[in-house]
């Protein structure tokens, strides 16, 4: 299966290797694990795939406290207690208090969906294996209602990671993996053109020169990402700064650098 990747109405810039990884994941019905720096388009990829396949997109943003069970369903005991106390609704119907999570919604959906599981490495070490066990089984049991929900279609699962911690080998073996390299200057020009189609070539050349120089500095611990480059360009254009001003100074450095030590190190250099 092959398709073009799009992000909404705008073209999603993807390498041939990334397109191949998506196609293999869809064809093999295996989760696609995407790693890369923040701002490299990991989460936008899920929207692009959903649009290309004309499928609904469900999102599950992982936190440090997230458990795999929460992705299936939660039993809202607090709401049931409130209804019991204040007489609002039939509290004997426990099904009213079962709230499906993103994974549960993907299983219960009458049509195949794309499920984004964002920043899987934020959760504890047991989470990835628990997650894939649920995806493998394609069904789950709701103990409170004595009901088994079986998936009608296997979702297209895209999992993102910022490489904050190592993931279990068993988890990695069951995924199709792709690492999104930080865009080259040539690719970055294409990305910028999506956001600023009328930007002057001379200004963009100076901006990219400064941006990539900044990323190469060993003293910078938190390197600026694509989203920060887009913000910087917006600030420069709103201020009406020319390429000469960018060439001779480093305006709005705080848009690019977000740590005090990084700012001080670069300010000494420039």
Domain CATH for 158: 3.40.50.300
Residue 31 lies in a domain: yes
pLDDT at 227 over 90: no
Residue 101 lies in a domain: yes
pLDDT tens, residue by residue, 161-185: 987 778 999 999 999 999 988 888 9
Its pTM stands at: 0.78
pLDDT tens, residue by residue, 100-130: 999 999 999 999 999 999 999 899 888 998 9
Average pLDDT, the chain: 88
Residue 2 lies in a domain: no
- Enumerate residues 6+ apart whose C-beta is below 8 A from 31: 25, 117, 132, 135, 157, 158, 159, 174, 175, 176
Nearest CA among 216, 251, 214, 213 for reference residue 233: 251
Residue 9 lies in a domain: no
Which structure tokens are listed for 32?
């696609």
- C-alpha to C-alpha distances, 233 to 155, 246, 247, 252, nearest whole angstrom: 38, 11, 14, 10
Please, which pLDDT band fits residue 6 given cuts at 50, 70 and 90? very low
**Are 138 and 232 members of one domain?**
no
Please, which pLDDT band fits residue 11 given cuts at 50, 70 and 90? low
**Are 116 and 231 members of one domain?**
no
**Are 159 and 201 members of one domain?**
no
Helix (H) or strand (E) run with residue 156 in it: strand 156-161
**Are 209 and 143 members of one domain?**
no
**Are 144 and 65 members of one domain?**
yes
- Residue 241 structural domain: 185-268
What gap in Å lies between CA 6 and CA 20, rounded to an integer?
15
pLDDT at 4 over 60: no
Residue 72 lies in a domain: yes
pLDDT at 253 over 50: yes
**Are 212 and 176 members of one domain?**
no
When comparing pLDDT for 96 and 229, which is higher?
Answer: 229
**Are 23 and 144 members of one domain?**
yes
């Amino acid at each position: 299966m092959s398709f073009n990747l799009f992000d909404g109405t705008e073209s999603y810039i993807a390498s041939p290797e990334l397109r191949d990884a998506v196609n293999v994941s869809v064809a093999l019905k295996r989760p696609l694990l995407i790693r890369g720096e923040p701002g490299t388009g990991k989460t936008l990829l899920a929207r692009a795939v959903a649009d290309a396949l004309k499928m609904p997109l469900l999102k599950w943003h992982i936190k440090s406290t997230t458990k795999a069970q929460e992705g299936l369903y939660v039993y809202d005991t607090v709401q049931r207690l409130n209804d019991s106390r204040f007489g609002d609704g039939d509290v004997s119907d426990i099904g009213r208090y079962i709230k499906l999570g993103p994974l549960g919604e993907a299983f219960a959906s009458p049509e195949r969906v794309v499920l984004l599981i964002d920043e899987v490495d934020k959760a504890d070490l047991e989470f990835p294996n628990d997650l894939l066990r649920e995806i493998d089984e394609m069904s789950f049991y709701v103990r409170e209602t004595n009901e088994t929900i079986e998936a009608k279609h296997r979702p297209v699962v895209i999992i993102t990671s910022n490489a904050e911690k190592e993931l279990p080998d068993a988890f990695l073996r069951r995924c199709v993996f792709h690492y999104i390299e930080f865009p080259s200057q040539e690719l970055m020009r294409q990305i910028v053109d999506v956001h600023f189609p009328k930007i002057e070539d001379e200004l963009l050349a100076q901006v990219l020169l400064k941006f990539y120089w900044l990323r190469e500095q060993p003293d910078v611990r938190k390197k600026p990402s694509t989203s920060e480059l887009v913000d910087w360009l917006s600030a420069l254009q709103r201020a009406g700064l020319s390429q000469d001003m960018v060439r001779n100074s480093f305006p709005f450095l705080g848009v690019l650098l977000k740590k005090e030590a990084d700012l001080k190190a670069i300010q000494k250099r420039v």
